[in-house]
Structure 1
Amino acid sequence: MSRLPSGPPLLFDMPLAPDFSIETRLMARGAGPVCGLDEAGRGPLAGPVVAAAVILDPRRIPPGLDDSKRLKAADRERLCAEILRTASAVSVASVAADGIDTVNILRASLEAMRRAATLLCVSPGHALVDGRDVPPGLPCDAQALVKGDQRSQSIAAASIVAKVTRDRMMTRCAAVHTAYGFDLHMGYATARHRSAIVEAGAVMRIHRMSFAPLKSGAVEADVEEGLLVAQAG
């Protein structure tokens, strides 16, 4: 599939909030339906990277869509429910920690987005992807948009669904692995999380062993001194 070039948006081209103008232009050229693709969880020490694909219904776009990072948790939850209720199609896919360790986080993120796009119940005609890279193997033409979740409502919707889904996964994980506080930091490298890794060990298949400080050997050194590595149930 063809890939359209992209680049950093000019300051005066950035809308105050994402809109549907890019999607409208594509559909006017017969390139619809347009799906937005985004992921959540590239930076944490633990948990999966989660991607979502969303095809919005142009007649029923929830008001208030924005980059998930610029929204409060309660607003993300509310908007996620609205997206699921009104969108033409929504899908979610993930790559777990051991998959991230195997291929690296960039490739894992792109693979999660590819999976999400292929799982849509409505075949997309074009994909708008947040970031600089187009996932290989997409079922349609695509273009990457830097800061796409602040420019395209379709990408913003995908960012919200991905973020809410991943947060729920980490909250469930916290109920099983109670020593780590996953529901508080969602796997990011907070002081509490780093301390818990030193005290309780890394959780295999939950922690990303290719990420520092796990990769550095700090945790492995603790294990050698008698600290067991927790096993995922």
Structure 2
Amino acid sequence: MLLSRYQDSYVEAGCDEAGRGCLAGPVFAAAVILPTAFRHALLNDSKQLSATHRLELRQVIETEALAFAVSSVSPQEIDRINIHKASYLAMHQALDALKLKAEYIIVDGNRFIPYRQTPYCCIVKGDGKYLSIAAASILAKTYRDEYMEQLHSEFPQYGWSQNKGYPTVEHRSAILSHGFTPHHRRTFRVTDPQLTLF
């Protein structure tokens, strides 16, 4: 895991999202500014960590980060503007909410919508390479998981406490049996094994 080469020169924020490929629930995004001296042996891409380690690291990140913010965009907005734009909107909202102004942004993935003329760099699999992106991936993932677990008590038939809204066979079958909820993304195909957009 690395610090970006720009971190010594700029106030740098790492950004990542969680829930892009889900059939239900918002997409969440986080922005994190870490101290230049920050290190943690466990910090990695959130998908490579256990739930216990993610929660442990979330507490460390929230305590030690110079600034962090988490935001979400609703299923209704996702359907209106599409999931890609909604993911970037959530990142922009998180950047807006930082208590420090980001002077440089590093983003997980290969695309980004520019934010307020702030220079940025897209990094494929950046959540496994750069500390601030990994930290953002952990915050986005843990906040979204908690949100879906809360929704599960209202709609237990969809199994959101386990699948978190992702298109598992059980989740798709539940939609076909019980229909949509207000938390489902109506523009996403339900019957395909792989998620596609209409």
Q: Same fold (TM over 0.5)?
A: yes
The one-character-per-residue Cα deviations of 1:141-161 (angstroms, maximum 9, x if unpaired) are 211111111111110000010
Q: Is the counterpart of residue 162 in structure 1 residue 140 in structure 2?
A: yes
Q: Is the counterpart of residue 81 in structure 1 residue 64 in structure 2?
A: no
Tell me the number of residue pairs that the alignment of Structure 1 and Structure 2 aligns: 192
After superposition, where does 1:207-226 map in structure 2 within 5 Å? Answer: 207-213=184-190
Work out the CA distance in 1 between the residues paired with 2:7 and 2:48: 28
> Which residue of 2 is the match for residue 219 of structure 1?
none
Paired residue secondary structure (1:38) = strand
Structure 1 residue 33 displacement after superposition: 1.0
Q: In angstroms, what is the RMSD of aligned CA positions? A: 1.6
Structure 1 residue 139 displacement after superposition: 6.0
Contact map agreement 1:130 1:147 (CA 8 A) in 2:
yes
> Which residue of 1 is the match for residue 154 of structure 2?
176
5+ residue gaps in structure 1? 1-17, 216-233
2:124 paired residue among 129, 133, 146: 146
Kindly name which structure, 1 or 2, has the bigger radius of gyration based on alpha carbons.
Answer: 1
TM-score when normalising by structure 2: 0.92
The one-character-per-residue Cα deviations of 1:161-207 (angstroms, maximum 9, x if unpaired) are 00001000000010111221111100011121112112221002x10
Paired residue secondary structure (2:24) = coil
Amino acid corresponding to residue 143 of structure 1 in structure 2: C
5+ residue gaps in structure 2? 193-198
TM-score when normalising by structure 1: 0.78
Paired residue secondary structure (1:134) = coil
Structure 1 residue 214 displacement after superposition: 7.3
The one-character-per-residue Cα deviations of 1:101-139 (angstroms, maximum 9, x if unpaired) are 111111111111111111100111111011111223346
Contact map agreement 2:172 2:191 (CA 8 A) in 1:
no
Percent of aligned pairs with the same amino acid: 40
Work out the CA distance in 2 between the residues paired with 1:165 and 1:214: 28
